[in-house]
Structures are given as C-alpha cells and as structure tokens.
Structure 1
Amino acid sequence: MSRWNPTFFTAFFFFLLCSLSGCHNRNQELVEDRIITFSSGDNTLQARLVIPKVHQSNDAIVLLVHGDGAMDHSAKGYFEPIITTLNEQRYATLSWSKPGVGSSDGDWLMQTMSQRAEEVRSAIRYLRQNGYPNNPVGVVGFSQASWVLAELGNEPEITFAALIGGAANWREQSKYTMWLRLIEEEKIHPDDTAVWQEIEELNELEYQLIKSGFNDYLGSDLHLHPFMAQPLEDEARFGFVRANIDSDVSLGFAQIRFPMLALFGDSDIRVDIEHSQQVFATTLGASDKLTQKVISNASHSLLKTELSMRAALYLTEDDFAPGALNTLVEWLNTHAHKAQPQRL
C-alpha cells in the first residue's frame, strides 16, 4: 500500500492553499505586524507586536501569556486566530517566545512563576518606552498563566486580565489529572470516591520525594505502585516542577484590583474547573471584579472537542468552541478600553 494516501494529499492541499492566500492572517493589510525584542532579567526575548492601523491611545494592548511548554510567540499557531480576532476589535497584541525558544535567550525550564511575571512587567516597560505611554494594558493568559497572574495582583500597570483554563493550585491539579488518568486506564471507577484518599497519600509521598531532590526521586520505588505514572527522567523538567510545585493563586488573587474574566471549557481534561471556579470566587471576592463562564463543548484551550483535519496544520476562529472568542471580546470591550475624553 502506498504511504501517500488521500488524507495526506488533502491536508497538504489545505496547507498550500492557506500559505498562498494568507487565510490564517487575513488582517495583514490592516495591521502593523513586527518582531521586536525586549530584555527581562538576563534574557533578551523575541516578541511579536501586532498593532491595528486604527489603534489609538485609548485602545488597549493585550499581552498573551503562555501556559506550560516550550512555546514560541505564536504558541505553535494557537495564538493566531486569537490575535486576528482581537486585532479586528482594535486591540493590539504582544506575545513572546519563552526563554530558549526561537531566538529568545535563556531556558524556560529554569524559571519560576515570579520570573515569568517579571517578563510581563518587562513587556509593559518596553511598551511604555516605545510609543505606547498611555494605552491600557492587560493580560490574556492560558492555563499555567494563572500562577503568573497571581504574582501580578498588585501591578498598577495592569488594568484587566482574562484567563483561559486557569489552574488554582499545582498539587490539586496533579491529583485531578492523576484521577482522570486512572479512569482512562480503567484502574478505578469514576464513582469510586474512596480512592481519593489513596490518591491524596500518593500525591503527598511524591511531593516529599520531589522536594528531596532528583536522585531521591528517581531512586524511590514509589512509581512501582500501580496508580503511579512513570517518573520524570528529564532532570531539567524535574527542576521546573520542583521549583513551581507549590504554585497557588490564593494570596496573589486576593490582591487583585483589576477586573478579571475566567473562561473554562466544559470538557477540560487538564484542570479541575469546579475547583478553579471555587478558589477564584473565594479569593477575588466581589462579583463586579470577577466574571466566570464555562463554554460548552470546549476543551482546555477552548477549542472544539472535535477538530477538522485541517486544524492539525493551522487554526482559525472556527476551530474555537461556539461563543468562546465572542465571550472574550465582549468582556474586553466592556473592561479594557479607556473611555474617550468628552468634548465640551
């Protein structure tokens, strides 16, 4: 049988057609799209700044803050339809490649959440010093970015924030993903609530091993337990986990004074959305400061739960669950732009 099957040729045709037509960046003539660099700590980061040509001093600039993983300034293409949607609504966007990705210096696996938060502050300083002294600036963050935002709760330059699939507590998230994995592996039944005690105990034992260091962690027989996953064998990844495993939003979110939107997909398999919603509501308090919404038929990243073959090559707005991007834009339109001065 030939390895060149019709599925491959169809996918390649879509990719070629899109590349020629620019279908995943239809706003090219309406924006100024440029690659810039800014410094944060010892690193020089490569970033992408996209400014609508109609953008004015009262229009907001949105910083796109990554979740986990080695992400470039496009988040491997995931940011593209978000940037396009925001640009159409007169929002400028700034995103950057993580340290060690693309042309950015450093190593993202050596970062703490506070260092990632300092990148946000550095990005804002760049904007203030390079032509945008008065524009409102806010954050749209993804997944792990909730812990970055928790380090920015008292940052006066941030005037709004939105989180997509935000996690509240690293260890609680680990328990949740362990529970889902055990269900998928058919080692437990979803209705077996008694198993949670064992999950708690195993999670605590692994936490203590992680805190003890890489050699103790790898040398333990804990991962021989049938409920445990394979241990982390990459020492750099282990170091990242060890440095950030105590991440929690509670203290930081209690200091937030700007309005925040939290969006979740109802089919999220990475974050316990009920736990996140409860913690966010408890820590942020006033309902006028926090808006939370669950999007139907949406994944962790608010994409549709079933995607077309073309989506493996590039994403468009149509790949997001119905209402996801509209909900984000409608909230931003209410909370992000600075009011135009009244004429006498």
Structure 2
Amino acid sequence: MPRWNPTFFTAFFFILLCSLSGCHNSNQELVEDRVITFSSDENTLQARLVVPKVHQSNDAIVLLVHGDGAMDHNANGYFEPIITTLNEQRYATLSWSKPGVGNSDGDWLTQTMSQRAEEVRSAIRYLRQNGYPNNPIGVVGFSQASWVLAELGDEPEITFAALIGGAANWREQSKYTMWLRLIEEEKIHPDDTTVWQEIEELNELEYQLIKSGFNDYLGSDLHLHPFMARPLEDEARFRFVRANIDSDVSVGFAQIRFPMLALFGDSDIRVDIEHSQQVFANTLGASDKLTQKVISNASHALLKTELSMRAALYLTEDDFAPGALDTLVEWLNTQAHKAPSQRL
C-alpha cells in the first residue's frame, strides 16, 4: 500500500492554504484595488484598477492588453505578479475582461484588432475623465496585442508601450507553429529546410479556404493531408480567425510615435521571435524608438521553462524567468520618468 510522503503533503497543504487565503497578494495593504466598468463599442467591460496609495499625478498608469483567448481582467492569474511588480514601482494598472468573459458584455470572438484597439482608447478616456487627467499612460501588451498596438500608433495619449512575445504577421505565425508541430509529431526533421515550400503551399491553400467561408473550409479534404492539423470545428472561432487572419504590424508600426520595448523568451514555441525582431526593426527603425531584448530560459509569456507544482495554482514573480520583470521595469522607469520635453 502506498504511503503518504509527509514533506509532499505539507507542501501541498501550504500551497492550497495560500491559494485560498491569497497569501501571494503581498501588496494589498499598499494599494487601492477597485473593480470598475467602462464602455467600448456598445459593450460594458468590467475592469480592475489597482492604484498604489503613494501614486501621484505624475506617476504613470499601465494598461495591460491581453493576447488571444477568453481572458478575464487578471488573465486567469497571469497578470497578478506583473501587477504586483508594477505597483511596487508606483505604477497604477488597468486591465479588463474581454467581451463575454466574467461580467463584461459582448463576445470577444466577434472582434477585430481595430475593435480591440478601440477598447484601449475607451480605457484611456475613462481614466482621463475619472481622476487621472494628466498621468502618463503606457501599454504593456502580450502576444496578439502586437496587432492591437499596430492600430494605436497615432494615439496621442500613449506615452510608451512594451510587448511581450509579440507576433508580427498572423500567417507567418501560423506557418511557424505548423513547423514546430510537425517536428513534435516527428513528421519532419528540424534540419530539413526543403519542407518549408510544402508548408507555404498548404498554408496558402488553407488561407483561401478560410476566406471562402466556413462550409467550404470544413468540407474540404485539405485537412486529410498528413501535415495538416484538425480543422476548426467551432464556427465562432473560425469567424474570429477569418476576420483577423490578415493581421500584420508593418503599416501600423511605421506610424508609431512613442518608444516601444519588445521582449521575447528564447524558448518561445508560439512566435518566431527572429521574424518578429526583424519586422519590428524594419518598421520602427530608430534606436530611440525601439528596444528589443531576448530573455534566456524564458517561455512565450517570459515564464521559466520549468515551473513548480505551485505555479499550477497561482503565479508569483519567482515564476518569471530571471531578469524578465526587471528588464521590463527598468525600461518602463526610463520612459515613464522622462520629462514631457524628452519624450518622442
């Protein structure tokens, strides 16, 4: 009969107790943590505004912009250590649940990237009209948020922006994830460069089917090809992909007027970080406008590549790769504390 390991049992009990009691929320006495709502595109969105009690009129507010998926205002727990870290540096944070998630109205699967960008503008308007008329405002976006940010290049209220794991082009990202999947399934060898032509051709065929509509897409035998994944059977998800599959940062990033930081994990399996870095550099250009850094031993979300059991329950700052949050904060501090005349 198996015996309980006392050390394991004690650790599990402590983790469970922490998850229930919120012992990882170490800064609650130092901040004002409020649930607010604001309107955007006929939706009322539930948001979380966390303001350090030492926050002043010249301290910045950071808007946290989600990547893909049904995310609440805490990104299902991922935002918590980021919010804590930023609060400790006197930044207020504002994040919101996507339409149809939590108590937010609407359906995020019906959105385009321009509609997501309008949410950012609506959040800024809320802040300006509700007690924060002059604070610098920045954006920290994740993954798919690169295409949201590409719609905001001319937004005068954004002082700075940072991207974590930002993708440059939807279709190029699809090719990259297909290539990684085929390697994992042992259908191709990582060093076989000749396979890229077939990946390109299959991707183009699938693109044409997606543009044709759900029935044509689902009725095609393209997905019987051994390289292809199962087709999208959820029509709502299909329509979201169809509406946004042409997303690309090139035109939008060329119009950006604020400085931007792009952070990538060297172990990213969602985004081709070399492609993103090249496109970002080609479109943003000037070194005073773009800073790019790759974090060692970091995932797409800049988390450690090996996480503890406790991380399945909640994340802390220690779950991020060494240097990830420090790099973000150091750059934000450089931008947020500039005098207005020093900003781009």
Q: TM-score, normalised by structure 1?
A: 0.96
Find the aligned partners of 1:237 and 1:4 in 2 and give their Cα distance. Answer: 44
Find the aligned partners of 2:189 and 2:340 in 1 and give their Cα distance. Answer: 57
Equivalent pair of 2:19/2:314 in contact (CA under 8 Å):
no
How far does the alpha carbon of each residue in 1:220-259 deviate from its partner, in whole angstroms, 9 at most, with x for none? 0000000000000000000000000000000000000100
Find the aligned partners of 2:175 and 2:253 in 1 and give their Cα distance. Answer: 22
Q: Does 1:105 align with 2:105?
A: yes
Find the aligned partners of 2:342 and 2:198 in 1 and give their Cα distance. Answer: 62
Query: What is the DSSP-based 3-state SS (H/G/I as helix, E as strand, rest coil) of the residue aligned with 1:76?
Result: helix
How far does the alpha carbon of each residue in 1:156-186 deviate from its partner, in whole angstroms, 9 at most, with x for none? 0101000000000000000000000000000
The 1:322–1:37 alpha-carbon spacing in structure 2 relative to 1, beyond 3 Å, is same
The 1:343–1:180 alpha-carbon spacing in structure 2 relative to 1, beyond 3 Å, is closer
Equivalent pair of 1:11/1:309 in contact (CA under 8 Å):
no
- Residue 337 of structure 1 deviates from its aligned partner by 3.1
Find the aligned partners of 1:3 and 1:206 in 2 and give their Cα distance. Answer: 53
Equivalent pair of 2:68/2:143 in contact (CA under 8 Å):
yes
The 1:217–1:317 alpha-carbon spacing in structure 2 relative to 1, beyond 3 Å, is same
- Residue 332 of structure 1 deviates from its aligned partner by 0.4
The 1:274–1:39 alpha-carbon spacing in structure 2 relative to 1, beyond 3 Å, is same
Find the aligned partners of 2:108 and 2:4 in 1 and give their Cα distance. Answer: 38
Query: What is the DSSP-based 3-state SS (H/G/I as helix, E as strand, rest coil) of the residue aligned with 1:141?
Result: strand
The 1:29–1:219 alpha-carbon spacing in structure 2 relative to 1, beyond 3 Å, is same
The 1:124–1:5 alpha-carbon spacing in structure 2 relative to 1, beyond 3 Å, is farther
Find the aligned partners of 1:116 and 1:341 in 2 and give their Cα distance. Answer: 30
Find the aligned partners of 1:20 and 1:313 in 2 and give their Cα distance. Answer: 10
Equivalent pair of 1:253/1:280 in contact (CA under 8 Å):
yes
- Residue 261 of structure 1 deviates from its aligned partner by 0.2
The 1:153–1:34 alpha-carbon spacing in structure 2 relative to 1, beyond 3 Å, is same
- Residue 22 of structure 1 deviates from its aligned partner by 3.1
The 1:187–1:21 alpha-carbon spacing in structure 2 relative to 1, beyond 3 Å, is same
| Identity rate, percent | 93
Query: What is the DSSP-based 3-state SS (H/G/I as helix, E as strand, rest coil) of the residue aligned with 2:38?
Result: strand
Find the aligned partners of 1:222 and 1:160 in 2 and give their Cα distance. Answer: 44
Equivalent pair of 2:303/2:321 in contact (CA under 8 Å):
yes
The 1:105–1:342 alpha-carbon spacing in structure 2 relative to 1, beyond 3 Å, is closer
The 1:36–1:192 alpha-carbon spacing in structure 2 relative to 1, beyond 3 Å, is same
Off by >6 Å, runs of 4+ in structure 1: 1-8, 340-344
Equivalent pair of 2:19/2:313 in contact (CA under 8 Å):
no
Does 333-342 or 73-82 show the bigger shift? 333-342
The 1:225–1:6 alpha-carbon spacing in structure 2 relative to 1, beyond 3 Å, is farther
How far does the alpha carbon of each residue in 1:107-156 deviate from its partner, in whole angstroms, 9 at most, with x for none? 00000000000000000000000000000001000000000000001110
Does 328-337 or 270-279 show the bigger shift? 328-337
Query: What is the DSSP-based 3-state SS (H/G/I as helix, E as strand, rest coil) of the residue aligned with 2:291?
Result: strand
Equivalent pair of 1:136/1:337 in contact (CA under 8 Å):
no
Find the aligned partners of 1:3 and 1:17 in 2 and give their Cα distance. Answer: 22
- Residue 24 of structure 1 deviates from its aligned partner by 1.8
Query: What is the DSSP-based 3-state SS (H/G/I as helix, E as strand, rest coil) of the residue aligned with 2:340?
Result: coil
The 1:343–1:217 alpha-carbon spacing in structure 2 relative to 1, beyond 3 Å, is closer
**Structure 1: runs of 5+ lacking an equivalent:** none
- Residue 19 of structure 1 deviates from its aligned partner by 4.0
How far does the alpha carbon of each residue in 1:166-210 deviate from its partner, in whole angstroms, 9 at most, with x for none? 000000000000000000000000010000000000000000000
**Structure 2: runs of 5+ lacking an equivalent:** none
Cα RMSD of the aligned pairs, angstroms, is 2.6
Equivalent pair of 1:176/1:271 in contact (CA under 8 Å):
yes
The 1:139–1:39 alpha-carbon spacing in structure 2 relative to 1, beyond 3 Å, is same
How far does the alpha carbon of each residue in 1:9-47 deviate from its partner, in whole angstroms, 9 at most, with x for none? 556413333146533210001000000000001100000
The 1:7–1:183 alpha-carbon spacing in structure 2 relative to 1, beyond 3 Å, is farther
The 1:189–1:10 alpha-carbon spacing in structure 2 relative to 1, beyond 3 Å, is farther
How far does the alpha carbon of each residue in 1:267-325 deviate from its partner, in whole angstroms, 9 at most, with x for none? 00000000000000000010110000000000000000000000000000000000000
Equivalent pair of 1:60/1:338 in contact (CA under 8 Å):
no
Equivalent pair of 1:59/1:338 in contact (CA under 8 Å):
no
